[in-house]
Amino acid sequence: MSQTTIGSAVARVDGFDKLTGRARYAADFHPEGMAHAYGVYSTISRGRIVSIDTSIADGMPGVIEIFHHDNFPTLHRSPASFPEENMVDELRTPFEDDVVHYAGQFVALVVADTFEHARDAAYRVKASYDADSAAANLAQGLEGGVTEANRTERGDADSAFDSAEVKVDATYTTPVETHNPMEMHATTARWANGKLIVHESTQGVIFARNTLAKNFDLDPSQIEVHADYIGSGFGGKLWLWPHSLATCAVARELGRPVQFMLPRQNMFTTSGHRPETSQHIQLGAKTDGTLTSIIHDSINSTSSINTFVEACGGSTSSLYASDALRVSHATAQVARGTPTPMRAPGAGVGLFALESAMDELAIALDMDPLELRRQNFTATDPSDGKPWSSNHMLECYDRAAERFGWADRNPQVGSMRDGDWLIGQGVAACNWDAMRNPCDARVTLRPDGSATVHCATQDIGTGTYTIIAQTAADTLGIDIGRIHVAIGDSTFPHGQISGGSWATASILPAIVGACKAAADKLVEYAANDGAPMAGADTDDLLFEAGVVKNGRGDQATPADILEPQKLAHAIGDFHSDGSPEDGYAYGSFGVNFVEIGWNPNTAQLKVRRVVSSIDAGAIMNDATARSQVEGAIVMGLGAAMFEATEYDERTGRPVNNNYAEYLVPVNADMPELDVILLNHPDYHLNELGARGIGEIGLTGVQAAVANAVYHATGKRIRDLPITLDKIM
Ligand code: MOS
């Protein structure tokens, strides 16, 4: 490696295209003859469709066809296999029957020559229903029964809790949150010569391709899924939703390209959400703070279409040492669409409960809450007894505490003030898995000294383009400006989803391998007859800084090697099997310190400071990594104080399904964010030492806020979001 761009804050290589509008998103493609589709959505939350009256809509200007359950082409039932990479969370195929499972479910799809014509006609389709009573929220859903999904146990947690010297026993609840990426879901589909070509806003071009292959009974080679640019997804775009399948189906039926864009209000119903949770935590400890029992029993809302488990206890089995533990997950059905992963699924809400309970335990013990966490730190993963590959949680605690000034905190509730404001300071741990999966890549070296990297992954805005370019530039020793990154295309070598915080750890080893394979190929060509180093033993040749060198100080450029042999390029392919080293447990760790102000006179709650320290392995790009953590903290503060999708108890319909009433933090809500990235490589996970960083920053933020609110006000808020009425 002749240069090192890895780790530095290289500006996004896709920044220019995005800023100048050259970046094209799924709905920016307008193939010749393209029609537009617009949905008609159920207004009831459970029951049957009695009739669909299209008599007025049929005659509206520009209308081409109106599809519904009576005339929709039959698709193969949606698959759902993570190992086969064709997951969906709505198992039902669109329009497969007259059953309504949730308000906002598709009941018809109007196709017209323009978007406006399709929308106008859709408003004039009349559906009538036979409505059943429905569970509109988790509390109502619980009346219909609870299904346990899984349980993990160590020792006898109940009796250990019963006999504990100090206990906390509390239930925490979190609301539905809805993914609101800037770019709405969109599909532009066309069929040509038996092939299906789709521009889709997706976090996984391979998953999207495989799902369509199953639905349409095609070989994956007959499908191309393109996602050059994506305006984020937060998990809502991991798997395909009904609109994608429906758009592809009607494009085939009509023999012309069709585009569909999911309106913002329907993103609240038919493309997933983070479910409601109710989490019962019981912690037992000795008087010195040693945990003796951890119990985390959670229930989340799911749909009548599919069972989605929010793994609230995902971090609970591993974060703290305790001989006795029970983590269980259960679900209850409500009349909503199926939930789906939303950034930090599981731990995102699970650590609100666990880390709030840890704060309650610290108070019961009259112990510093940071000290309680230090005391229960575990150097091995208690769930399997394996040592952590790399765990610098204690350093996170130390460094963030020092930066925050935790030592100056007066633990007395309501004791800290700034003028009219009561000040509260809270702490909570962060945790996320560190995972790695198989990935292929191809690198092509050209005579002009440039290189192209091909991989069927995508950049949802996190910086994947940039870290791939950095990795290739460093491995090949050529300038980053000469690296072209080609991703977002399912026809490229098999890549990974942008999810689970595993893209970086999975993709980059494949990029390194393909770069080395391409360099080896060029070395081999350099030793060919008629080549600059003809007859040389390839073991004596070295590719370095973009040229092939021998031991005598001779150099040959790619042009010197390739042109005389009339070779267009040297190609290297690599398959990374995605296996981390055996014998270790893998995770990322961190801590959030939050300071809030509460003004009892004006009932204002304000986050004043956040200091976070994150141990997520080697940092590939200090700018994009920092942005990920900062964005996650913003999302965590939103979950703590603002975000909640509210449903009308009578109809089951979301009532704040828009940007005006679904509150997310704005700049005025945000304090300075101070993020410390530890940057300790995890070489057991991969040769770059990189883990992932997309999700961890969100975990524990809500608890840190709730703990700070308690410190200021003495009010323990166990129900998110922490709205003003709950403090007053
Ligand atoms: Mo993330 S919820 O795995 O996109």
User: What are the pocket residues of ligand 1 if the criterion is a CB atom closer than 6 Å to any ligand atom?
Assistant: 203, 235, 238, 341-343, 345, 499-500
Same domain, 316 and 341: yes
Q: Which residues are catalytic?
A: 695
Q: Report the alpha-carbon distance of residue 581 to residue 31 in Å, rounded.
A: 47
Task: Specify whether 333 is located in the same domain as 456.
Answer: no
Instruction: Measure 161 CA to ligand 1 centroid, in angstroms.
Output: 34
- What's the pLDDT score for residue 1? 41
**List of long-range contacts for 560-569, beta carbons under 8 Å, 24+ apart:** 560/532, 561/522, 561/525, 561/526, 561/531, 561/532, 562/446, 562/447, 562/522, 562/525, 563/447, 564/530, 564/531, 565/525, 565/528, 565/530, 565/531, 567/525, 568/446, 568/447, 569/444, 569/445, 569/446, 569/447
Residue 297 is assigned to a structural domain of this protein? yes
| Residue 206 located in a structural domain | yes
- Atom number, ligand 1, closest to the C-alpha of residue 343: 2
In a domain, 149, yes or no: no
Mutate to test the pocket of ligand 1, among 343, 432, 696 (most ligand atoms within 8 A of CB): 343
Query: Is residue 315 over pLDDT 80?
Result: yes
Residue range 291-305, pLDDT digits in tens = 999 999 999 999 999
What is the whole-number distance in angstroms between the Cα of residue 24 and the centre of ligand 1?
23
Are 555 and 681 found together in one domain?
no
Give yes or no for a contact between 663 and 196, defined as CB atoms under 8 angstroms apart.
no
Residue with tokens 């199953």: 214
398 and 455 together in one domain: no
Question: Measured in angstroms, how far is the CA atom of residue 447 from the centroid of ligand 1?
Answer: 40
Q: Of ligand 1's atoms, which has the minimum distance to the CA of residue 234? A: 4
Distances (CA, A) of 375 to 165, 361, 408: 16, 13, 20
Note the pLDDT of residue 703. 98
Domain boundary among 518, 537, 572: 572
pLDDT of residue 3: 56
Query: Residue whose CA is closest, atom 4 of ligand 1?
Result: 235
The pLDDT value recorded for residue 77 is: 86
Q: Give the number of the atom of ligand 1 that is nearest the alpha carbon of residue 499.
A: 3
From 178, 458, 504, 695, mutation site for ligand 1 pocket: most ligand atoms within 8 A of C-beta: 695
Task: Dump pLDDT digits (tens) for 698-719.
Answer: 999 999 999 999 999 999 999 9
* Cβ(595)–Cβ(409) below 8 Å: no
Q: Is residue 8 part of a domain?
A: no
Rg of the chain in Å (alpha carbons): 27
The model carries a pTM of 0.97
Report CA(234)–ligand 1 centroid distance (Å): 6
pLDDT tens-place string over residues 124-158: 999 999 999 999 999 999 999 999 999 999 999 99
Ligand 1 atom having least distance to the Cα of 236: 4
- Chain centroid to Cα 417, Å, comes to 38
Alpha-carbon distance 569 to 89, whole Å? Answer: 43
488, 593: one domain: no
Query: Which atom number of ligand 1 is nearest to the Cα of residue 694?
Result: 1
Q: Which of 546, 572, 598 is the last residue of a domain?
A: 572
Structural domain count of the chain: 3
Instruction: Give the residue with greater pLDDT, 292 vs 78.
Output: 292
Residues 210, 263, single domain; the answer is yes
509 with 616, same domain?
Answer: no
Angle made by CA atoms 591, 597, 601, in degrees to the nearest 5: 160
Asked, for residue 4, whether it belongs to a domain, the answer is no
Cα(67) to ligand 1 centroid in Å equals 32
Q: Same domain for 376 and 469?
A: no
User: For residue 342, how far is its CA from the centre of ligand 1 (angstroms)?
Assistant: 6
pLDDT in tens, 332-357: 999 999 999 999 999 999 999 999 99
Residue 656: give its domain's CATH number.
3.30.365.10
Helix-helix angle 242-254:205-215, to 10 degrees: 60
Q: Is residue 147 part of a domain?
A: no
Q: If you measure from the C-alpha of residue 179 to the centroid of ligand 1, how many angstroms do you get, rounded to a whole number?
A: 11
Laid out side by side, the sheet with 421-433 consists of: 416-418, 421-433, 587-599, 604-615, 672-677
Domain range holding 307? 277-435+582-727
Section 264-278 average pLDDT: 97
* Joined tokens for residue 161: 């809790």
Residue 556 lies in a domain: yes
Q: 523 and 603 share a domain?
A: no
Ligand 1 atom with least separation from CA of 341 = 2
Q: What does the pLDDT average to over 474-482?
A: 96
Going from the Cα of 559 to the center of ligand 1, the distance in angstroms, rounded, reads 43
**Contacts (Cβ under 8 Å, ≥6 apart) of 59:** none
Distance separating alpha carbons of residues 592 and 611, to the nearest angstrom: 6
Domain boundary among 572, 603, 637: 572
Helix axes 701-713, 622-641, angle to 10 degrees: 50
Task: Kindly state whether residues 604 and 707 are assigned to the same domain.
Answer: yes
d(CA 149, CA 332): 10
Closest by Cα among 484, 499, 429 to 230: 499
Residue 172 lies in a domain: no
Angle between helices 347-365 and 622-641 (to 10 degrees): 70
Q: How far is CA 624 from CA 82, 435, 627, in A?
A: 28, 19, 5
CATH number at residue 54: 3.90.1170.50
β 195-200/223-226 pair status: parallel
Q: Quick one: pLDDT band at residue 630, thresholds 50, 70, 90?
A: very high
Are 372 and 455 within one domain?
Answer: no
The reply to whether 323 and 458 lie within a common domain is no
